[in-house]
Structure 1
Amino acid sequence: MLYPELFKQLEAVRWNMDTDIPWDKFDASRLTEDQARTIKMNAITEWSALPATEMFLRDNRDDSDFSAFMSVWFFEEQKHSLVLMEYLRRFRPDLVPTEQELHEVRFDFDPAPALETLMLHFCGEIRLNHWYRRASEWHTEPVIKAIYETLARDEARHGGAYLRYMKRAMQKFGDEAKAAFAKVGVLMASARRTAQALHPTNLHVNAKLFPRDTIQSRLPDPEWLEKWLDTQIQFDAVWENKVVERILHNMSLLMDRSFASVQELNRFRKEMAARVAAATGVVVPLASS
Protein backbone atom coordinates (compact mmCIF):
# COMPACT_ATOMS: atom_id res chain seq x y z
CA MET A 1 0.00 0.00 0.00
CA LEU A 2 1.12 3.52 -0.79
CA TYR A 3 -1.26 5.35 1.56
CA PRO A 4 0.67 4.85 4.86
CA GLU A 5 3.93 6.15 3.36
CA LEU A 6 2.27 9.07 1.53
CA PHE A 7 0.38 10.02 4.68
CA LYS A 8 3.63 10.14 6.64
CA GLN A 9 5.43 12.17 3.96
CA LEU A 10 2.67 14.75 3.56
CA GLU A 11 2.10 14.97 7.32
CA ALA A 12 5.77 15.86 7.82
CA VAL A 13 5.54 18.98 5.63
CA ARG A 14 2.00 20.08 6.44
CA TRP A 15 1.73 23.79 7.16
CA ASN A 16 -0.24 25.38 9.97
CA MET A 17 -2.75 28.06 9.02
CA ASP A 18 -2.24 30.04 12.23
CA THR A 19 1.55 29.95 12.50
CA ASP A 20 2.90 29.42 8.97
CA ILE A 21 0.98 32.16 7.16
CA PRO A 22 2.48 35.66 7.83
CA TRP A 23 -0.84 37.31 8.66
CA ASP A 24 0.89 40.18 10.50
CA LYS A 25 2.59 41.34 7.31
CA PHE A 26 -0.69 42.36 5.62
CA ASP A 27 -0.44 45.63 3.70
CA ALA A 28 -3.85 46.93 2.62
CA SER A 29 -2.28 49.48 0.27
CA ARG A 30 -0.90 46.64 -1.85
CA LEU A 31 -4.15 44.75 -2.41
CA THR A 32 -6.17 45.89 -5.42
CA GLU A 33 -9.87 45.28 -5.98
CA ASP A 34 -9.19 43.00 -8.94
CA GLN A 35 -6.75 40.95 -6.89
CA ALA A 36 -9.20 40.58 -4.01
CA ARG A 37 -11.95 39.36 -6.35
CA THR A 38 -9.70 36.72 -7.89
CA ILE A 39 -9.03 35.34 -4.41
CA LYS A 40 -12.75 34.77 -3.98
CA MET A 41 -12.97 32.90 -7.28
CA ASN A 42 -9.98 30.73 -6.37
CA ALA A 43 -11.51 29.95 -2.98
CA ILE A 44 -14.68 28.67 -4.64
CA THR A 45 -12.72 26.75 -7.27
CA GLU A 46 -10.70 24.98 -4.56
CA TRP A 47 -13.97 24.00 -2.86
CA SER A 48 -14.61 21.74 -5.87
CA ALA A 49 -12.29 19.19 -4.28
CA LEU A 50 -15.51 18.06 -2.57
CA PRO A 51 -17.29 16.74 -5.70
CA ALA A 52 -13.96 15.54 -7.11
CA THR A 53 -13.41 13.41 -4.00
CA GLU A 54 -16.92 12.01 -4.28
CA MET A 55 -16.11 11.09 -7.89
CA PHE A 56 -12.80 9.44 -6.95
CA LEU A 57 -14.40 7.36 -4.18
CA ARG A 58 -17.25 6.26 -6.46
CA ASP A 59 -15.02 5.31 -9.39
CA ASN A 60 -12.31 3.60 -7.26
CA ARG A 61 -14.45 1.41 -5.03
CA ASP A 62 -12.17 -1.52 -5.82
CA ASP A 63 -9.05 0.39 -4.72
CA SER A 64 -9.06 0.99 -0.97
CA ASP A 65 -5.43 2.16 -0.96
CA PHE A 66 -6.10 5.05 -3.35
CA SER A 67 -9.44 5.79 -1.70
CA ALA A 68 -7.71 6.10 1.67
CA PHE A 69 -5.21 8.53 0.15
CA MET A 70 -8.18 10.68 -0.84
CA SER A 71 -8.59 11.49 2.87
CA VAL A 72 -5.25 13.34 2.73
CA TRP A 73 -5.79 14.95 -0.67
CA PHE A 74 -9.31 16.08 0.22
CA PHE A 75 -8.19 17.55 3.55
CA GLU A 76 -5.36 19.54 2.00
CA GLU A 77 -7.39 20.79 -0.97
CA GLN A 78 -10.26 21.94 1.24
CA LYS A 79 -7.66 23.64 3.42
CA HIS A 80 -6.63 25.64 0.34
CA SER A 81 -10.16 26.93 0.01
CA LEU A 82 -10.28 27.63 3.73
CA VAL A 83 -7.04 29.67 3.87
CA LEU A 84 -8.19 31.83 0.95
CA MET A 85 -11.51 32.40 2.69
CA GLU A 86 -9.69 33.19 5.95
CA TYR A 87 -7.66 35.81 4.09
CA LEU A 88 -10.89 37.41 2.85
CA ARG A 89 -12.53 37.09 6.28
CA ARG A 90 -9.66 39.03 7.86
CA PHE A 91 -9.05 41.64 5.19
CA ARG A 92 -12.02 41.75 2.77
CA PRO A 93 -15.02 40.26 4.60
CA ASP A 94 -17.39 41.64 1.94
CA LEU A 95 -15.93 39.13 -0.52
CA VAL A 96 -16.12 35.95 1.58
CA PRO A 97 -18.00 33.34 -0.52
CA THR A 98 -21.47 32.49 0.72
CA GLU A 99 -22.37 28.92 1.57
CA GLN A 100 -24.64 28.85 -1.48
CA GLU A 101 -21.83 30.03 -3.77
CA LEU A 102 -19.66 27.22 -2.44
CA HIS A 103 -22.44 24.65 -2.71
CA GLU A 104 -23.06 25.64 -6.32
CA VAL A 105 -19.87 23.84 -7.42
CA ARG A 106 -20.90 20.59 -5.75
CA PHE A 107 -22.59 18.44 -8.38
CA ASP A 108 -22.23 14.90 -9.68
CA PHE A 109 -19.56 14.11 -12.25
CA ASP A 110 -20.40 11.48 -14.86
CA PRO A 111 -18.51 8.19 -14.38
CA ALA A 112 -15.26 8.05 -16.33
CA PRO A 113 -12.38 5.56 -16.73
CA ALA A 114 -10.42 5.62 -13.49
CA LEU A 115 -7.00 5.50 -15.15
CA GLU A 116 -7.77 8.45 -17.42
CA THR A 117 -9.16 10.43 -14.49
CA LEU A 118 -5.99 9.74 -12.48
CA MET A 119 -3.82 11.10 -15.29
CA LEU A 120 -6.15 14.06 -15.78
CA HIS A 121 -5.75 15.10 -12.17
CA PHE A 122 -1.99 14.47 -12.20
CA CYS A 123 -1.71 16.95 -15.09
CA GLY A 124 -4.11 19.26 -13.28
CA GLU A 125 -1.80 19.40 -10.26
CA ILE A 126 1.14 20.29 -12.50
CA ARG A 127 -0.85 23.05 -14.17
CA LEU A 128 -2.18 24.42 -10.88
CA ASN A 129 1.31 24.48 -9.39
CA HIS A 130 2.37 26.73 -12.26
CA TRP A 131 -0.78 28.87 -12.13
CA TYR A 132 -0.26 29.53 -8.41
CA ARG A 133 3.43 30.28 -8.84
CA ARG A 134 2.49 32.85 -11.46
CA ALA A 135 -0.32 34.18 -9.24
CA SER A 136 2.15 34.72 -6.42
CA GLU A 137 4.33 36.77 -8.76
CA TRP A 138 1.35 38.83 -9.96
CA HIS A 139 -0.02 39.66 -6.51
CA THR A 140 1.54 42.60 -4.71
CA GLU A 141 0.21 42.09 -1.17
CA PRO A 142 2.75 40.10 0.94
CA VAL A 143 0.37 37.74 2.75
CA ILE A 144 -1.49 36.52 -0.32
CA LYS A 145 1.81 36.14 -2.16
CA ALA A 146 2.97 33.80 0.62
CA ILE A 147 -0.33 31.90 0.54
CA TYR A 148 -0.09 31.21 -3.19
CA GLU A 149 3.52 30.06 -2.79
CA THR A 150 2.33 27.67 -0.07
CA LEU A 151 -0.51 26.32 -2.20
CA ALA A 152 1.79 25.84 -5.19
CA ARG A 153 4.09 23.62 -3.12
CA ASP A 154 1.12 21.53 -1.99
CA GLU A 155 -0.04 21.03 -5.58
CA ALA A 156 3.44 19.84 -6.58
CA ARG A 157 3.43 17.30 -3.74
CA HIS A 158 -0.03 16.10 -4.75
CA GLY A 159 1.21 15.59 -8.29
CA GLY A 160 4.05 13.48 -6.93
CA ALA A 161 1.60 11.33 -4.98
CA TYR A 162 -0.58 10.79 -8.05
CA LEU A 163 2.56 9.78 -9.96
CA ARG A 164 3.19 7.05 -7.40
CA TYR A 165 -0.29 5.65 -8.03
CA MET A 166 0.27 5.87 -11.78
CA LYS A 167 3.47 3.79 -11.45
CA ARG A 168 1.54 1.23 -9.42
CA ALA A 169 -1.23 1.15 -12.05
CA MET A 170 1.30 0.41 -14.78
CA GLN A 171 2.60 -2.54 -12.79
CA LYS A 172 -0.94 -3.84 -12.46
CA PHE A 173 -2.51 -2.97 -15.82
CA GLY A 174 0.50 -2.70 -18.15
CA ASP A 175 -0.28 -1.40 -21.64
CA GLU A 176 -3.84 -0.49 -20.68
CA ALA A 177 -2.52 2.04 -18.16
CA LYS A 178 0.14 3.29 -20.57
CA ALA A 179 -2.51 3.85 -23.26
CA ALA A 180 -4.79 5.73 -20.84
CA PHE A 181 -2.01 7.92 -19.48
CA ALA A 182 -0.63 8.74 -22.93
CA LYS A 183 -4.10 9.57 -24.27
CA VAL A 184 -4.81 12.11 -21.53
CA GLY A 185 -1.22 13.34 -21.57
CA VAL A 186 -1.55 14.34 -25.21
CA LEU A 187 -4.77 16.18 -24.46
CA MET A 188 -3.46 18.03 -21.41
CA ALA A 189 -0.18 18.99 -23.08
CA SER A 190 -1.99 20.49 -26.07
CA ALA A 191 -3.52 23.54 -24.40
CA ARG A 192 -2.20 25.89 -27.07
CA ARG A 193 -4.47 24.16 -29.59
CA THR A 194 -7.65 24.62 -27.54
CA ALA A 195 -9.87 27.59 -26.80
CA GLN A 196 -10.15 26.79 -23.09
CA ALA A 197 -7.80 26.34 -20.16
CA LEU A 198 -7.12 22.63 -19.80
CA HIS A 199 -7.67 21.92 -16.13
CA PRO A 200 -10.17 19.51 -14.49
CA THR A 201 -12.22 22.45 -13.16
CA ASN A 202 -12.74 23.72 -16.70
CA LEU A 203 -13.79 20.47 -18.39
CA HIS A 204 -17.37 19.31 -19.00
CA VAL A 205 -18.21 16.48 -16.61
CA ASN A 206 -22.01 16.06 -16.55
CA ALA A 207 -23.87 15.75 -19.86
CA LYS A 208 -27.29 16.37 -18.30
CA LEU A 209 -26.16 19.73 -16.86
CA PHE A 210 -24.46 20.99 -20.03
CA PRO A 211 -23.39 23.75 -20.47
CA ARG A 212 -23.29 24.43 -16.71
CA ASP A 213 -21.32 21.26 -16.05
CA THR A 214 -17.88 22.69 -15.39
CA ILE A 215 -16.73 24.10 -12.09
CA GLN A 216 -15.82 27.39 -13.72
CA SER A 217 -19.26 27.75 -15.33
CA ARG A 218 -20.87 27.66 -11.89
CA LEU A 219 -18.78 30.44 -10.33
CA PRO A 220 -20.35 33.85 -9.59
CA ASP A 221 -18.27 35.10 -12.54
CA PRO A 222 -18.03 32.27 -15.11
CA GLU A 223 -15.68 34.33 -17.29
CA TRP A 224 -13.21 34.84 -14.48
CA LEU A 225 -10.69 32.11 -15.31
CA GLU A 226 -9.84 33.29 -18.81
CA LYS A 227 -9.41 36.87 -17.63
CA TRP A 228 -7.25 35.74 -14.70
CA LEU A 229 -4.99 33.70 -16.97
CA ASP A 230 -4.78 36.03 -19.96
CA THR A 231 -4.77 39.56 -18.57
CA GLN A 232 -4.03 39.29 -14.85
CA ILE A 233 -1.45 36.62 -14.04
CA GLN A 234 -0.55 36.59 -17.77
CA PHE A 235 -0.06 32.86 -18.09
CA ASP A 236 1.59 33.18 -21.49
CA ALA A 237 3.29 30.79 -23.91
CA VAL A 238 6.45 30.74 -21.81
CA TRP A 239 4.55 29.52 -18.77
CA GLU A 240 2.42 27.13 -20.81
CA ASN A 241 5.62 25.60 -22.17
CA LYS A 242 6.76 25.01 -18.59
CA VAL A 243 3.60 22.96 -17.99
CA VAL A 244 4.07 20.97 -21.20
CA GLU A 245 7.72 20.31 -20.36
CA ARG A 246 6.80 18.97 -16.90
CA ILE A 247 4.13 16.68 -18.35
CA LEU A 248 6.52 15.34 -21.00
CA HIS A 249 9.34 14.97 -18.46
CA ASN A 250 7.18 12.95 -16.09
CA MET A 251 5.75 10.83 -18.88
CA SER A 252 9.31 10.10 -20.03
CA LEU A 253 10.25 8.94 -16.53
CA LEU A 254 7.03 6.97 -16.17
CA MET A 255 7.31 5.15 -19.50
CA ASP A 256 11.14 4.89 -19.45
CA ARG A 257 11.14 6.49 -22.88
CA SER A 258 12.07 9.99 -23.96
CA PHE A 259 9.33 12.34 -25.18
CA ALA A 260 10.73 15.63 -26.44
CA SER A 261 7.43 16.83 -27.88
CA VAL A 262 3.69 16.26 -27.74
CA GLN A 263 3.97 14.71 -31.20
CA GLU A 264 6.33 12.03 -29.87
CA LEU A 265 3.95 11.32 -27.00
CA ASN A 266 1.09 11.10 -29.50
CA ARG A 267 2.97 8.49 -31.55
CA PHE A 268 3.53 6.50 -28.37
CA ARG A 269 -0.20 6.80 -27.59
CA LYS A 270 -1.09 5.30 -30.97
CA GLU A 271 1.42 2.50 -30.42
CA MET A 272 -0.06 1.64 -27.01
CA ALA A 273 -3.64 1.85 -28.35
CA ALA A 274 -2.73 -0.60 -31.12
CA ARG A 275 -1.11 -2.99 -28.63
CA VAL A 276 -4.16 -2.93 -26.35
CA ALA A 277 -6.45 -3.52 -29.34
CA ALA A 278 -4.31 -6.45 -30.52
CA ALA A 279 -4.27 -8.01 -27.06
CA THR A 280 -7.93 -7.53 -26.19
CA GLY A 281 -9.76 -7.05 -29.45
CA VAL A 282 -11.06 -3.76 -28.05
CA VAL A 283 -10.17 -0.60 -29.93
CA VAL A 284 -8.98 2.20 -27.64
CA PRO A 285 -10.53 5.54 -28.74
CA LEU A 286 -7.92 7.93 -30.12
CA ALA A 287 -7.61 11.35 -28.53
CA SER A 288 -6.43 12.87 -31.81
CA SER A 289 -5.29 11.71 -35.19
Structure 2
Amino acid sequence: MLYPELFTSLEKARWNMADDIPWDQFDASQLSDDQAITIKMNAITEWSALPATEMFLRDNTDDSDFSAFMSIWFYEEQKHSLVLMEYLRRFRPELCPTEEELHAVRFPFDPAPRLETLMLHFCGEVRLTQWYRRASEWHDEPVIKHIYDTLSRDEARHGGAYLKYMKRAIERFGDEARRAFTKIGVLMASSARSGKPLHPTNLHVNEALFPNDTIQSRLPDPDWLEHWLDKQICFDKECEGRVIGGILRNLSNLMGQTFETVQQLNLFRKQLAAA
Protein backbone atom coordinates (compact mmCIF):
# COMPACT_ATOMS: atom_id res chain seq x y z
CA MET A 1 0.00 0.00 0.00
CA LEU A 2 1.11 3.53 -0.80
CA TYR A 3 -1.31 5.34 1.50
CA PRO A 4 0.65 4.91 4.79
CA GLU A 5 3.87 6.20 3.20
CA LEU A 6 2.09 9.12 1.55
CA PHE A 7 0.27 10.01 4.75
CA THR A 8 3.56 10.20 6.64
CA SER A 9 5.38 12.28 4.02
CA LEU A 10 2.50 14.71 3.43
CA GLU A 11 1.85 15.02 7.16
CA LYS A 12 5.44 16.20 7.67
CA ALA A 13 4.98 18.92 5.03
CA ARG A 14 1.57 20.08 6.25
CA TRP A 15 1.22 23.75 7.10
CA ASN A 16 -1.05 25.39 9.64
CA MET A 17 -3.36 28.14 8.41
CA ALA A 18 -3.29 30.00 11.72
CA ASP A 19 0.45 29.90 12.38
CA ASP A 20 2.20 29.48 9.02
CA ILE A 21 0.51 32.25 7.03
CA PRO A 22 1.95 35.73 7.86
CA TRP A 23 -1.43 37.45 8.19
CA ASP A 24 0.08 40.40 10.07
CA GLN A 25 2.19 41.38 7.04
CA PHE A 26 -0.82 42.37 4.93
CA ASP A 27 -0.31 45.54 2.92
CA ALA A 28 -3.58 46.89 1.53
CA SER A 29 -1.78 49.27 -0.83
CA GLN A 30 -0.33 46.30 -2.71
CA LEU A 31 -3.64 44.60 -3.60
CA SER A 32 -5.79 45.86 -6.47
CA ASP A 33 -9.47 45.11 -7.01
CA ASP A 34 -8.65 43.05 -10.10
CA GLN A 35 -6.15 40.98 -8.16
CA ALA A 36 -8.64 40.35 -5.35
CA ILE A 37 -11.22 39.11 -7.87
CA THR A 38 -8.76 36.52 -9.19
CA ILE A 39 -8.29 35.24 -5.65
CA LYS A 40 -12.05 34.75 -5.39
CA MET A 41 -12.10 32.79 -8.67
CA ASN A 42 -9.27 30.55 -7.55
CA ALA A 43 -11.00 29.93 -4.23
CA ILE A 44 -14.12 28.71 -6.04
CA THR A 45 -12.08 26.65 -8.49
CA GLU A 46 -10.27 24.90 -5.63
CA TRP A 47 -13.67 24.01 -4.15
CA SER A 48 -14.16 21.70 -7.14
CA ALA A 49 -11.96 19.13 -5.40
CA LEU A 50 -15.29 18.09 -3.85
CA PRO A 51 -16.90 16.69 -7.03
CA ALA A 52 -13.51 15.39 -8.19
CA THR A 53 -13.18 13.38 -4.98
CA GLU A 54 -16.69 12.02 -5.41
CA MET A 55 -15.68 10.94 -8.92
CA PHE A 56 -12.47 9.28 -7.75
CA LEU A 57 -14.23 7.35 -4.97
CA ARG A 58 -17.00 6.21 -7.34
CA ASP A 59 -14.59 5.05 -10.05
CA ASN A 60 -12.08 3.37 -7.71
CA THR A 61 -14.34 1.27 -5.47
CA ASP A 62 -12.03 -1.72 -5.89
CA ASP A 63 -8.90 0.25 -4.91
CA SER A 64 -9.01 1.02 -1.19
CA ASP A 65 -5.40 2.19 -1.17
CA PHE A 66 -5.99 4.99 -3.69
CA SER A 67 -9.37 5.80 -2.15
CA ALA A 68 -7.71 6.25 1.23
CA PHE A 69 -5.20 8.65 -0.34
CA MET A 70 -8.16 10.73 -1.45
CA SER A 71 -8.73 11.59 2.22
CA ILE A 72 -5.41 13.47 2.17
CA TRP A 73 -5.82 15.03 -1.27
CA PHE A 74 -9.38 16.18 -0.56
CA TYR A 75 -8.44 17.69 2.79
CA GLU A 76 -5.48 19.61 1.40
CA GLU A 77 -7.30 20.84 -1.71
CA GLN A 78 -10.27 22.05 0.33
CA LYS A 79 -7.82 23.82 2.63
CA HIS A 80 -6.51 25.66 -0.43
CA SER A 81 -9.99 26.99 -1.06
CA LEU A 82 -10.39 27.81 2.62
CA VAL A 83 -7.14 29.78 2.95
CA LEU A 84 -7.99 31.89 -0.10
CA MET A 85 -11.45 32.55 1.35
CA GLU A 86 -9.91 33.41 4.71
CA TYR A 87 -7.67 35.94 2.97
CA LEU A 88 -10.73 37.56 1.41
CA ARG A 89 -12.72 37.34 4.64
CA ARG A 90 -10.00 39.26 6.46
CA PHE A 91 -9.07 41.80 3.80
CA ARG A 92 -11.78 41.93 1.10
CA PRO A 93 -14.90 40.49 2.73
CA GLU A 94 -17.21 41.80 0.01
CA LEU A 95 -15.52 39.39 -2.43
CA CYS A 96 -15.68 36.25 -0.30
CA PRO A 97 -17.50 33.53 -2.32
CA THR A 98 -21.05 32.76 -1.29
CA GLU A 99 -22.17 29.25 -0.49
CA GLU A 100 -24.23 29.30 -3.69
CA GLU A 101 -21.18 30.21 -5.78
CA LEU A 102 -19.22 27.38 -4.21
CA HIS A 103 -22.01 24.86 -4.63
CA ALA A 104 -22.34 25.74 -8.32
CA VAL A 105 -19.11 23.85 -9.08
CA ARG A 106 -20.37 20.68 -7.41
CA PHE A 107 -22.00 18.55 -10.08
CA PRO A 108 -21.59 14.91 -11.16
CA PHE A 109 -18.80 13.94 -13.53
CA ASP A 110 -19.53 11.21 -16.07
CA PRO A 111 -17.70 7.91 -15.44
CA ALA A 112 -14.39 7.77 -17.30
CA PRO A 113 -11.50 5.27 -17.59
CA ARG A 114 -9.69 5.56 -14.29
CA LEU A 115 -6.15 5.27 -15.67
CA GLU A 116 -6.78 8.17 -18.03
CA THR A 117 -8.32 10.14 -15.17
CA LEU A 118 -5.28 9.46 -12.97
CA MET A 119 -2.95 10.80 -15.66
CA LEU A 120 -5.22 13.77 -16.29
CA HIS A 121 -5.02 14.82 -12.67
CA PHE A 122 -1.28 14.24 -12.50
CA CYS A 123 -0.90 16.67 -15.41
CA GLY A 124 -3.30 19.04 -13.67
CA GLU A 125 -1.06 19.12 -10.59
CA VAL A 126 2.02 19.78 -12.74
CA ARG A 127 0.23 22.68 -14.42
CA LEU A 128 -1.23 24.11 -11.23
CA THR A 129 2.19 24.05 -9.58
CA GLN A 130 3.42 26.40 -12.31
CA TRP A 131 0.27 28.55 -12.36
CA TYR A 132 0.48 29.23 -8.64
CA ARG A 133 4.22 29.82 -8.76
CA ARG A 134 3.62 32.46 -11.43
CA ALA A 135 0.72 33.92 -9.45
CA SER A 136 3.00 34.35 -6.44
CA GLU A 137 5.47 36.24 -8.64
CA TRP A 138 2.71 38.43 -10.10
CA HIS A 139 1.26 39.58 -6.80
CA ASP A 140 2.96 42.29 -4.77
CA GLU A 141 0.97 41.92 -1.56
CA PRO A 142 3.15 39.83 0.85
CA VAL A 143 0.48 37.59 2.37
CA ILE A 144 -1.07 36.41 -0.89
CA LYS A 145 2.41 35.93 -2.38
CA HIS A 146 3.17 33.59 0.52
CA ILE A 147 -0.15 31.78 0.15
CA TYR A 148 0.30 31.08 -3.56
CA ASP A 149 3.85 29.87 -2.99
CA THR A 150 2.53 27.53 -0.29
CA LEU A 151 -0.20 26.20 -2.57
CA SER A 152 2.29 25.66 -5.39
CA ARG A 153 4.42 23.46 -3.14
CA ASP A 154 1.36 21.46 -2.11
CA GLU A 155 0.37 20.88 -5.74
CA ALA A 156 3.89 19.67 -6.55
CA ARG A 157 3.68 17.14 -3.70
CA HIS A 158 0.27 15.99 -4.93
CA GLY A 159 1.72 15.45 -8.38
CA GLY A 160 4.42 13.30 -6.82
CA ALA A 161 1.79 11.22 -5.03
CA TYR A 162 -0.19 10.65 -8.22
CA LEU A 163 3.06 9.64 -9.92
CA LYS A 164 3.55 6.88 -7.36
CA TYR A 165 0.12 5.49 -8.21
CA MET A 166 0.99 5.71 -11.90
CA LYS A 167 4.15 3.66 -11.32
CA ARG A 168 2.08 1.11 -9.45
CA ALA A 169 -0.43 1.01 -12.32
CA ILE A 170 2.32 0.21 -14.81
CA GLU A 171 3.51 -2.62 -12.57
CA ARG A 172 -0.03 -4.01 -12.42
CA PHE A 173 -1.41 -3.30 -15.88
CA GLY A 174 1.65 -2.90 -18.11
CA ASP A 175 0.90 -1.61 -21.60
CA GLU A 176 -2.72 -0.83 -20.75
CA ALA A 177 -1.46 1.81 -18.32
CA ARG A 178 1.26 2.98 -20.71
CA ARG A 179 -1.29 3.52 -23.46
CA ALA A 180 -3.58 5.46 -21.12
CA PHE A 181 -0.79 7.66 -19.75
CA THR A 182 0.78 8.47 -23.12
CA LYS A 183 -2.63 9.22 -24.66
CA ILE A 184 -3.47 11.79 -21.99
CA GLY A 185 0.13 13.02 -21.88
CA VAL A 186 0.01 13.97 -25.55
CA LEU A 187 -3.32 15.74 -25.02
CA MET A 188 -2.24 17.70 -21.94
CA ALA A 189 1.14 18.69 -23.38
CA SER A 190 -0.46 20.00 -26.59
CA SER A 191 -2.06 23.15 -25.25
CA ALA A 192 -0.51 25.27 -28.01
CA ARG A 193 -2.25 23.17 -30.63
CA SER A 194 -5.58 23.19 -28.78
CA GLY A 195 -5.50 26.97 -28.39
CA LYS A 196 -6.25 26.93 -24.66
CA PRO A 197 -4.63 25.82 -21.42
CA LEU A 198 -5.69 22.27 -20.64
CA HIS A 199 -6.56 21.48 -17.04
CA PRO A 200 -9.22 19.26 -15.40
CA THR A 201 -11.22 22.35 -14.49
CA ASN A 202 -11.80 23.45 -18.10
CA LEU A 203 -12.49 20.06 -19.69
CA HIS A 204 -16.04 18.82 -20.34
CA VAL A 205 -17.09 16.14 -17.87
CA ASN A 206 -20.89 15.72 -18.10
CA GLU A 207 -22.47 15.22 -21.51
CA ALA A 208 -26.01 15.88 -20.26
CA LEU A 209 -25.00 19.33 -18.96
CA PHE A 210 -22.99 20.38 -22.03
CA PRO A 211 -21.80 23.09 -22.55
CA ASN A 212 -22.06 24.08 -18.89
CA ASP A 213 -20.17 21.00 -17.77
CA THR A 214 -16.75 22.40 -16.97
CA ILE A 215 -15.76 23.87 -13.63
CA GLN A 216 -14.77 27.13 -15.29
CA SER A 217 -18.13 27.45 -17.06
CA ARG A 218 -19.88 27.50 -13.68
CA LEU A 219 -17.84 30.30 -12.14
CA PRO A 220 -19.28 33.81 -11.70
CA ASP A 221 -17.04 34.84 -14.61
CA PRO A 222 -16.53 31.85 -16.94
CA ASP A 223 -13.90 33.73 -18.97
CA TRP A 224 -11.66 34.70 -16.10
CA LEU A 225 -9.09 31.88 -16.42
CA GLU A 226 -7.68 32.76 -19.82
CA HIS A 227 -7.64 36.46 -18.93
CA TRP A 228 -5.80 35.66 -15.68
CA LEU A 229 -3.25 33.54 -17.53
CA ASP A 230 -2.74 35.76 -20.59
CA LYS A 231 -3.17 39.30 -19.29
CA GLN A 232 -2.48 39.14 -15.57
CA ILE A 233 0.02 36.51 -14.44
CA CYS A 234 1.32 36.40 -18.05
CA PHE A 235 1.74 32.65 -18.28
CA ASP A 236 3.77 32.83 -21.47
CA LYS A 237 5.47 30.33 -23.77
CA GLU A 238 8.40 29.93 -21.40
CA CYS A 239 6.07 29.16 -18.49
CA GLU A 240 4.12 26.70 -20.63
CA GLY A 241 7.39 25.06 -21.57
CA ARG A 242 7.98 24.22 -17.91
CA VAL A 243 4.61 22.45 -17.78
CA ILE A 244 5.30 20.47 -20.94
CA GLY A 245 8.82 19.68 -19.77
CA GLY A 246 7.52 18.36 -16.46
CA ILE A 247 5.05 16.05 -18.20
CA LEU A 248 7.67 14.78 -20.67
CA ARG A 249 10.35 14.19 -18.02
CA ASN A 250 8.06 12.22 -15.77
CA LEU A 251 6.69 10.13 -18.62
CA SER A 252 10.25 9.48 -19.80
CA ASN A 253 11.08 8.07 -16.36
CA LEU A 254 7.87 6.06 -16.22
CA MET A 255 8.28 4.53 -19.66
CA GLY A 256 12.05 4.05 -19.61
CA GLN A 257 12.27 6.22 -22.73
CA THR A 258 13.48 9.72 -23.59
CA PHE A 259 10.80 12.17 -24.70
CA GLU A 260 12.20 15.61 -25.45
CA THR A 261 9.19 16.69 -27.53
CA VAL A 262 5.48 15.98 -27.66
CA GLN A 263 6.06 14.53 -31.14
CA GLN A 264 8.39 11.89 -29.70
CA LEU A 265 5.82 11.03 -27.05
CA ASN A 266 3.09 10.78 -29.68
CA LEU A 267 5.22 8.43 -31.80
CA PHE A 268 5.70 6.16 -28.78
CA ARG A 269 1.96 6.32 -28.11
CA LYS A 270 1.25 5.18 -31.68
CA GLN A 271 3.71 2.32 -31.29
CA LEU A 272 1.95 1.17 -28.14
CA ALA A 273 -1.43 1.43 -29.85
CA ALA A 274 -0.22 -0.63 -32.81
CA ALA A 275 1.20 -3.29 -30.50
TM-score range, shorter chain: over 0.9
Instruction: Describe the SS at the equivalent of 1:220.
Output: coil
Match of 2:20 in 1: 20
State how far apart, in whole Å, the 1-side matches of 2:135 and 2:211 are: 28
Paired AA for residue 122 in structure 1: F
Q: Which moved more, 1:189-198 or 1:13-22?
A: 189-198
Match of 1:65 in 2: 65
Instruction: Describe the SS at the equivalent of 1:245.
Output: helix
1:271 shift after superposition: 1.1
Tell me, yes or no, if the aligned pair for 1:189 and 1:243 is still in contact at 8 Å: yes
Match of 1:156 in 2: 156
State how far apart, in whole Å, the 2-side matches of 1:260 and 1:35 are: 36
State how far apart, in whole Å, the 2-side matches of 1:229 and 1:124 are: 15
Match of 2:251 in 1: 251
Match of 1:175 in 2: 175
Paired AA for residue 14 in structure 1: R
Match of 1:100 in 2: 100
Tell me, yes or no, if the aligned pair for 1:196 and 1:202 is still in contact at 8 Å: no
State how far apart, in whole Å, the 2-side matches of 1:211 and 1:202 are: 11
State how far apart, in whole Å, the 2-side matches of 1:30 and 1:47 are: 26
Match of 2:135 in 1: 135
CA distances 1:100-121 after superposition (whole Å, capped 9, x unpaired) = 0000000000000000000000
Match of 2:272 in 1: 272
State how far apart, in whole Å, the 1-side matches of 2:42 and 2:90 are: 16
1:274 shift after superposition: 1.7
1:195 shift after superposition: 2.4
CA root-mean-square deviation: 0.5
Identity across matched positions, percent: 75
Tell me, yes or no, if the aligned pair for 1:39 and 1:84 is still in contact at 8 Å: yes
State how far apart, in whole Å, the 1-side matches of 2:236 and 2:195 are: 14
State how far apart, in whole Å, the 1-side matches of 2:53 and 2:194 are: 27
State how 1:73-88 maps to structure 2 within 5 Å.
73-88=73-88
State how far apart, in whole Å, the 2-side matches of 1:182 and 1:190 are: 12
Instruction: Describe the SS at the equivalent of 2:68.
Output: helix
Unaligned 5+ runs, structure 2: none
State how far apart, in whole Å, the 2-side matches of 1:71 and 1:49 are: 11
Match of 1:212 in 2: 212
Instruction: Describe the SS at the equivalent of 1:68.
Output: helix
**How many matched pairs?**
275
CA distances 1:229-277 after superposition (whole Å, capped 9, x unpaired) = 00000001010011001100000011111001000000111111122xx
State how 1:109-124 maps to structure 2 within 5 Å.
109-124=109-124
State how far apart, in whole Å, the 2-side matches of 1:274 and 1:159 are: 29
Match of 1:236 in 2: 236
1:196 shift after superposition: 2.2
Match of 1:56 in 2: 56
1:77 shift after superposition: 0.2
State how far apart, in whole Å, the 2-side matches of 1:34 and 1:195 are: 25
Unaligned 5+ runs, structure 1: 276-289
State how far apart, in whole Å, the 1-side matches of 2:192 and 2:236 are: 10
1:197 shift after superposition: 1.7
TM-score (norm 1): 0.95
State how far apart, in whole Å, the 2-side matches of 1:148 and 1:120 are: 22
- Return structure 1 stretches of 4+ with deviation > 2 angstroms: none
State how far apart, in whole Å, the 2-side matches of 1:272 and 1:214 are: 30
